[in-house]
Structure 1
Amino acid sequence: MASGTSASGTVSATPATDSPEAGFARDMAVHHQQAVDLSFIVRDRTADVPVRNLAFDIINTQANQRGMMMGWLDQWGLTQSSQAKPMAWMKMDHAYQPHDGSLMPGMATNAQLDKLRGLSGRDAEIWYLQLMLEHHRGGVAMAQGYVDVAVNESEKRLAQSMVVGQTSEIQLITDMLAERGAKPLS
């Protein structure tokens, strides 16, 4: 990381392009975008108020967080995408192999997205909840992975809030599935 002194005299650090800060911002932005996409799809496929409210919350929260992460990359003078393997910044050997548009753990495949687009009503609600449960589990693991190595305090706070918020939504989604007589995918 390069560092400099701001006008206030505090030392600031600019993350390197291959740093955990940049990698997390890029990867979580991609992960969040899919959650927003899933939520827009279900919003148009059901009239169920609790599912639509959850989708609305996910759209707003994750689009806002995505904007923050893209803004940080811009402030740091870094590109918003990278040729690095997804989650390489975690410095762990991940067994996950990207496939059919699913770039990271928890992300839906293109086939799963197509299935959601073809469903409506209760079937769409259940499929969305099942996909979003997996999506949040993957997101929580990635956010916690960043919290564990974070240097940038602002980004660490955001990642920690993701862990807390999505863990809470995991319980809500699990309860919503049970109310519909459905089980998680795994």
Structure 2
Amino acid sequence: MVSEPYAVCVYCSASVDDPRALELAARVGTEIGRRGWHLVSGGGNVSMMGAVAHAARAAGAKTIGVIPKKLVHREVADTDADELIVTDSMRERKQIMDDRADAFLTLPGGIGTLEELFETWTGAYLGVHEKPVVVLDPQDHYAGLFAWVGELRKRGYAGPEALEKVLVTADFEAAFAALRPSF
């Protein structure tokens, strides 16, 4: 029996040009390749999404990009991906990304990235999957969001069980350790 290498789905911006964010994305891609893992991404070739894919490939990772038809030109489809899957819808895109990933890593991003994070986090909380959900946030991009989530906890809208299903960290090594917990 041949098993596929471990695959990490990275959620991140496809629009920002902040050099620190692009550097973080490239570092993440390089580390995925260094570990011999596969990258599952949104299939774009721009901004952080492109930086993580380029760096992963340069470090030897197989890259699987999943992009809806409507975004092929907007996010400039990553035609260099080892496997580029073009879907009919965003829902189909997310399902394929979920199915192909063994873990989820969220980097800085906007509302699309947040939507992906919340869906995978909620899936972990509800027992839909048992895959690690990690947010790597070295520049406090999500500080306000998680302060608000803390308020939800205080008010009884989010229990400790839900909060235990996501690791938010500024530490690169801690994030990667959480992505592949020892079995």
TM-score, normalised via structure 1 length: 0.29
Q: Comparing both chains, which one has the higher relative contact order based on Cα–Cα distances under 8 Å and sequence gaps of 6 or more?
A: 1
Specify which structure has the higher proportion of strand.
Answer: 2
Specify which structure has the higher proportion of helix.
Answer: 1
Q: Which has the larger radius of gyration?
A: 1
TM-score, normalised via structure 2 length: 0.29
